[in-house]
Amino acid sequence: MSCHKRLSTETNNNKNNSNNNRVNNKKAWLILLLSTALAVANGQAEANGKPHIIIIMADDMGFDDVSFRGSNHFLTPNIDALAYSGVILNNLYTPAMCTPSRAALLTGKYPINTGMQHYVIVNDQPWGLPLNETTMAQIFKQNGYYTSLLGKWHLGMSRRNFTPTERGFDHHFGYLGAYVDYYDQTLMQNGKNYSRGHDFRSNLQVSHEHVGEYLTDVLTEAAVQLIDQHNATAKPLFLLLSHLAPHAANDDQPMQAPAEELAQFAYIKDETRRYYAAMVSRLDKSVGRVIDALARRQLLQQSIVLFLSDNGGPTEGMHATKASNYPLRGQKNSPWEGGIRSSAAIWSTEFEKLGSVWRQPFYIGDLLPTLAEAAGISLPPTLKVDGLNLWSALKYGYESVEREILHNIDETDAYFAYTKGKWKVVNGTTVEGAYDGWLGSRHATEIDPRAASYEQVIRNTSVWQHLQEVNRGAERNITALRQQAQLGCSELPGTPCLPLKAPCLFDIDVDPCELNNLYEDHRNASFFLDMWDRIEQFAKQAHPPANKPADPKCDPRYYKNEWTWWEDEQQAGDVGVGTGTASKCLCVNNLPFILFIFLATLTGLWL
C-alpha cells in the first residue's frame, strides 16, 4: 500500500474513531442529562409533601356578615361549614383598609415598616409596595410553589414592576386597582375628570373576554380551572383568591348582584342591604366551589384552606355597603375593633383541634411566617418580618402566646392603635371621629328562611360533606361552636372614650366592644407607661408614608381607555397609542425540560 493510501486510510480511521467517540460522548452526556432531569423530576415529586395553600380573601366584609357569628339575617352555609370543620380564628387582626392589609399579608410586616400605613393607593397615584420588599409569593415561588393571584391586587400599578407577576406571582388574572364594576370591569375615579377605564388582565395582557359576566363567578371559575389543571405532582399550589366581593362598585351603581341571587333575599326591606346579602351569598357559593374542586382532585388532605376579610366592613361613608361589624365599635378605616378584626376560619388535617374556636391573638402579618413553617420554609433573618410564627400554636390549639400588635401609627391622620396582651390603647382617630360609634346591628325580624333548620343546612353543604369525609366523620357540635364564636359585650357602657381629647385604654378580653375606657384608672401604671414607650419606639423607626400625589397622566383616555402602568408608557413615549399590554413570553412550567434544553445547548447536543 502506498504511503498516500495508508495515510488516507489512517486519516479516515481516525475520523471514524473521532466520530464514534463524539457519538459515545454525546450518548454519555445525554444519559447524564436525562438522569439529571429525572433527579429533578423526583425532587419535584417530593415537593408533593408540601401543603397546597389556598387563601380566599373577601373585600370589606363585615365582622357579623358570616352566619357562624350568630346572625340569621342571611346565611353563609359554605363559609360556616368550613369554619365548623376547621378552626374559627376569633381574634384575627388586620389593618383597617385594603392596601395596608394586603401589604401586611404579603410582607409579614406592619405597614409603618413598608410605608403603606396611610390610606390606600388610589388608581391615579404613582406609588406601590416598595420594590425592595420581598413578598410571600416570591418566597413560596423560590421554594418550589406555583403561585397564582386571582382578583384584586391594589399594591401599585403606575409601573409594570409594581404588578403581581413582577412581585412573585407566576400567574395573575384580575384587576390592578382598588375596585371595578362587577360586570364591565371598569373604574370611574371619584372627583376626577378622567375617562372611565377598564381594569382587567390575564397576566400582563388586557383581557375583555369576560366583560358582561359577574366578576365573583369569573374569579371562581378561574380558581376551579386552576385547581383542575394544576400539576400537583410537580409543584404544590399557592393560590390567593382575592375577591372583589362584597366591596362596592362605582358610585353610579355600587351594589351589584345577579337577579337570581338577589331574589333569595326579598325579605330584606333595605335595598342596599338586600344587594349586600346577595353579594355575600355569591361569595359564599365561591367558597363551596373551590372546596369542591379541591375534593374532586383529591387535594384536600394536603391542603391548608383559609378564609378571611381584608378589614372590617364600611357601614357608612365612602363605598358604604351597610355591612355590619356588630357588636364591635367602628368600621373600615377606623382604629376600632370593627375596622381591624376579621371574621376568619382555617382548615388543615394537621390541626389537632379541628372543630374549635381559637382565641389566640393573630395578626395578618403572622400568616407569612406561620404558613412558611407549615411548608417547611425557613425565612431568612434579613427579611425582618414583624409577624410571628404561630404554626405550632395553631396546630396544637394552645392560646398562651402573649404578643403585641401594632395596628397602625398614622401621623398624617394623627392617630395610633396598639395592643399588648389584653390591653389596647387608641389615641386620635380617623375622619374626625365619624366612624367612632357602634354602627352595625342585628336584625330580629328579617330572618333568612333557612335559619329555622340552620344545622341541617350546614350539614347538607358539599363543603361539610367533603371535609367530614377527610376528617373521617368526626362529630361537631355546631350549635356550641356558633355560640362560642359570638362576642359578648357589657350591658351598660362604662367611662366614655373621646380619642380626640385623650388616649383611651380597653381590656379587650372582657370588653371587645370598647365600651369602657380605663385610661384614667391606669394612666400611671407601669404596664401602660411601657406600652406608651413601645409606641414611641415604633413611631421613631417608622418608614415615611410612601403616598404620592395624583398624576393626571394616568388618565385611561390616553391608553385606549385602559388603566395601565402609565409611567412606563410615558417614558416610552406611547401616550395616546399605548395599549397597556406587554409582549407575550414563552413560559414552560417544567423544570426538567428546561434544564435539559439548557444543558443540551451548552454541550452541543441541541442541533
Catalytic (active-site) positions? 98, 154
Give, as one character, the DSSP assignment of residue 345. E
Contact 282, 262 (CB under 8 A): no
Backbone angles phi, psi at 27, to 5 degrees: -65, -40
Contact 431, 415 (CB under 8 A): no
Give, as one character, the DSSP assignment of residue 360. S
- The C-alpha atoms of residue 59 and residue 332 are separated, in whole angstroms, by 11
Residue 558, CA distances (Å) to 3, 250, 264, 345, 571 in order: 81, 21, 42, 44, 14
Nearest to 291 by CA among 244, 345, 332, 329: 345
- The C-alpha atoms of residue 156 and residue 129 are separated, in whole angstroms, by 6
Backbone angles phi, psi at 305, to 5 degrees: -120, 125
Distance of CA 63 to the CA centre of its chain: 17
Contact 62, 323 (CB under 8 A): yes
- The C-alpha atoms of residue 467 and residue 245 are separated, in whole angstroms, by 25
- Please tell me whether residue 357 adopts helix, strand or coil conformation: strand
Nearest to 152 by CA among 246, 228, 251: 246
Contacts of 524 (CB under 8 A, 6+ apart): none
Residue 34, CA distances (Å) to 39, 75, 591, 595, 596 in order: 8, 55, 12, 10, 7
Q: Which residue is it, cell 399594591?
A: 155
- Please tell me whether residue 62 adopts helix, strand or coil conformation: coil
Backbone angles phi, psi at 602, to 5 degrees: -65, -35
- Please tell me whether residue 287 adopts helix, strand or coil conformation: helix
- Please tell me whether residue 271 adopts helix, strand or coil conformation: helix
CB-hemisphere CA count at 13 Å for 365? 26
- The C-alpha atoms of residue 423 and residue 425 are separated, in whole angstroms, by 7
Contact 528, 422 (CB under 8 A): no
Grid cell listed for 440: 352595625
